[in-house]
Structure 1
Amino acid sequence: MSNPTPPPGYGPQDPQQPGQYGQPGQYGQPGQQPGQYGQQQPSYGGQQPGYGQQPGQYGQQPGQYGQQPQQYGQQPGYPQYGGQPGYPQQYGQPGGYGVPSNLAAWPNRVGGWLIDVLIIGVPYGIGVALASGNNSGMAILALLFYLVGIGLGIWNIVFRQGTTGQTLGKSALGLKLVDGISGQPVGPGKAFLRQLTHILDGAACYIGYLWPLWDEKRQTFADKINNTYVIKL
């Protein structure tokens, strides 16, 4: 009586039995195990550059934030803020305030000058008249009128005009002397220097006093030398 034949795959004589565990690509062959897991390692290894790129993304953030100070750094340089406060708003040019838009007309300047001349000239003229006599007593009185005329000229042209920008004549006609850089009164020192440089205005047939008639800045020679303007209020 013969032995029963076992089903395929269970018997030792079945050649397919090693193939379940030992065929290439199956779990039975040790040489393939590293390949299966070895292929997973590059997958993890490939993720590392992905994480490695993250610092690059964050590394770009300082550049983005680094640009912000440039945006904020430009704010103080806005030119529209340069001329806002007070009188200099009319000008706004770098290095100075440019040419005012409300320059005084030449006839108004002449009118203010005539008033100032009368204020100084009347007492001074009286002193000259008194000094022309032969009376010694009148000479003292003449000297007094001289001193009054000179004192009025110094107070009116130097101190009053230097501190307020207006002589009595300019105040009567609504004029003002201002500095070409600050737009403010020039101060007594510069007012005195400007008065001295008026000598150049009268040197060549008084052409300097007539210069505002055709000059676009309406300046005399003294105004140009001292960088001053006479404006209409």
Structure 2
Amino acid sequence: MGNPYDPYGQQPGYGQPPAQPGYGQPAQPGYGQQPPPPQPGYGQPAPPQPGYGQPAPQPGYGQPPAPPAPPAAPAYGQPAQPAYQEVHHHYYGSSGQLATWGSRFAAYLIDYLIVIVPFGVLYILGGVLGASGSGGAAVLGVLFFLLAWVEFIAGALWLAYQEGTTGQTIGKRQMGIKVISAQTGQPIGFGWGILRRLCHHTIDGAVCYLGFLWPLWDDKRQTFGDKICNTYVVRA
């Protein structure tokens, strides 16, 4: 006997299970359940996904943007290098960090004596032996002359190496000052150390040693060689 409330037989009777959906038809959600998102039909492409290396979709209107990535930290065991402006302000902007002319002169005098005293001793011995007139003594005198110039050149290169790699020679270490690059605040290297000393012995001393006296009134306390090599002499 049919259901009087369902004359066409579409609704299940009391106690009968609901009718199952036909093949290929989606099931209806139960009471209180959200319907699933629609699936693309057979042969239709799926929604595009962002490719590798492409930015993710931007947030919609009114949504806050994603927080920016934190800055990269320096490698383990390596201190962060200050910016050029900070180094320049630290060593030049503060006049108290720059070395005084007196300390620079004392350091130069110590280094000069370390090189020139052995040179003078060998040179004098060579002159004395060469003036004796005998053949063997004259040859020995020439050897002393050569040794004197070898010692002078080797001593000058050694001072340039110390100043370029560490910023300090023996004299500068005794006076508590050092040479740094105006750009990085670090030692200038062996090559620049040689060039700086050449500038001191040529350009700074060319006109009545005016270059050596220039730090007395220069606001950066630089000699001509310092300006050419872009260096400062500061307190260590």
Larger Rg, first or second structure (1 or 2): 1
Is 1:152 the counterpart of 2:155 in the alignment?
yes
Contact 1:162 / 1:191 at 8 angstroms: preserved in 2? yes
2:217 paired residue number? 214
Paired residues of 1:97 and 1:181 also in contact (CA < 8 A): yes
Deviations 1:136-165 (A, max 9, x none): 122212322331232122112x21111111
Q: Out of 123, 126, 129, which is 1:128 matched to? A: 123
For the aligned residue pairs, the C-alpha RMSD in angstroms reads: 2.4
Contact 1:115 1:168 in 2 (8 A): yes
Distance change (3 Å), C-alpha of 1:98 and 1:189: farther
TM-score (norm 2): 0.60
Residue 85 of structure 2: aligned partner: 93
Cα gap change, 1:206 to 1:196, in 2 (>3 Å): same
Give aligned-pair identity as a percent.
42
CA contact (8 A) 1:106 1:213 kept: yes
After superposition, give the CA deviation of every residue in 1:54-100 in whole Å (9 maximum; x if it has no partner).
xxxx84135x42xx56xx48x76xxxxxxx946x4xx8517x63461
CA distance in 2, matches of 1:148, 1:207: 28
Question: Could you tell me whether the CA contact under 8 Å between 1:123 and 1:146 is conserved in 2?
Answer: no
- Structure 2 CA distance for aligned equivalents of residues 103 and 196 of structure 1: 22
1:101-146 deviation per Cα after TM superposition (whole angstroms, max 9, x unaligned) = 3110000000000001001101111222123232412221232233
Q: Which has the higher helix share?
A: 1
> Is there any run of 5+ residues in structure 1 with no aligned partner, and where?
1-57, 77-83
Q: Are residues 1:61 and 2:56 paired? A: no
Q: What residue identity is the alignment partner of 2:190?
A: P
Counterparts of 1:97 and 1:61, CA distance in 2:
45
* 2:33 aligned residue: none
Q: 1:182 to 1:92 in 2, by over 3 A?
A: closer
The answer to whether the aligner puts 1:177 opposite 2:187 as a matched pair is: no
Task: Report the equivalent of 2:104.
Answer: 109
Deviation at 1:182, TM superposition (A): 1.1
Divergent runs of 4+, >3 A: none
